[in-house]
Amino acid sequence: MINSSLKAITGIFLLLFSVKLSGQEPEPNKYTSSNKGKFFLSWGGNRESFSRSDINFKGDNYDFTLKDVKAHDKPKGWHVDYINPARMTIPQTNAKIGYFISDHYAIALGLDHMKYVMTQNQITNIDGIINLSATEQGAQFNGTYDNASIPLTEEFLTFEHTDGLNYIHTEFSRVDDISSIFNVQNTDKFQLNISEGVGAGVLYPKTNATLLSRDRYDEFHLAGYGVSVRAGLTFTFFKHFFIQGDLKGGYIDMNDIRTTSDPSDSASQSFFYFQRIISFGGVFRI
């Protein structure tokens, strides 16, 4: 009797247990296990370094080149302006919006708002000619120069792209999850990705220049093109939020820089740059 009762109870238990198991939904895939179809956007800040560059200035009655000109960035530091909508363009910033076309590859549109400031009062070499009339501003610098030394005083030249050196570009990148290296089990809570990207775009600077004591000029102008490469680490947490650190380098060629209100006055330069970037962002599906 007891044995038959135990067998009946065991049979009922196993039946109920099997029904419960068959009624359960399979465990869904983690949100972070697939990227295809996700959008992402980010906002952050940067520091930059620039190579020396030759800068050519030309206009009516002058055409000269300053050689190996040094420049630096204009950092704001940790500041509320980075998140103040009315002042977000004042610091050196980076913005990006993108889309994953597959689990590992993404396309993006980005704006690198850098700041380029020619180092004032440096001594550099000059080639070329300045032949202004005696009544024109800047006539005190008249001469024919052949690799001559000249101090870059404020009376001779101030030159900066501080609002800014705007690199508007598209980027193609690859992303790989390396969370397993650190034995991360639940990537929906924390995920570590490594990414590499290449980009190309145009330069739309607002150049602040005072040339040969003439009126200051400070307007936006499409000035040239740029190319870039990038590598970085992304820490994603709670599926939708991330902090990203990038190292980015590139080449800029601006052959049509406005320097005065007269369109016949222009400058050209090319140089390499190196950025260190920290960004904050989100990733989501629509």
Residue 13 lies in a domain: no
Whole-angstrom Cα distance, residue 128 to residue 145?
5
Q: Is 15 helix (H, G, I), strand (E, B) or coil?
A: helix
Residue 175 lies in a domain: yes
Its domain, for residue 151, covers 37-284
35-to-85, 102, 112, 204, 243 alpha-carbon distances in Å: 30, 7, 25, 32, 17
What local confidence, expressed as pLDDT, does residue 100 receive?
98
Of 58-67, 93-102, 242-251, 256-265, the one with minimum mean pLDDT is: 256-265
Report residue 246's pLDDT band, with 50, 70 and 90 as the boundaries. very high
Report residue 214's pLDDT band, with 50, 70 and 90 as the boundaries. confident
Residue 150 lies in a domain: yes
Q: What mean pLDDT do residues 82-107 have? A: 85
Model pLDDT for residues 144-199, shown as the tens digit of each residue = 999 999 999 999 999 999 988 999 999 999 999 999 998 888 999 999 999 999 99
Structure tokens at 14: 């196993």
What local confidence, expressed as pLDDT, does residue 29 receive?
79
Specify the higher pLDDT residue, 19 or 90: 90
Residue 32 lies in a domain: no
Domain count, the chain: 1
Residue 200 lies in a domain: yes
Interacting residues of 168 by C-beta distance below 8 A, sequence separation 6+: 109, 110, 111, 201, 202, 203, 204
36-to-59, 98, 223, 260 alpha-carbon distances in Å: 52, 12, 36, 48
The yes-or-no verdict on residue 10 having pLDDT over 80 is no
What local confidence, expressed as pLDDT, does residue 198 receive?
98
Select from 161, 269, 271 the least CA-distant residue to 205: 161
Q: What mean pLDDT do residues 265-277 have? A: 97
What local confidence, expressed as pLDDT, does residue 218 receive?
84
3-state helix, strand, coil in the chain (%, to 5): 15, 55, 30
Whole-angstrom Cα distance, residue 234 to residue 236?
6
Residue 5 lies in a domain: no
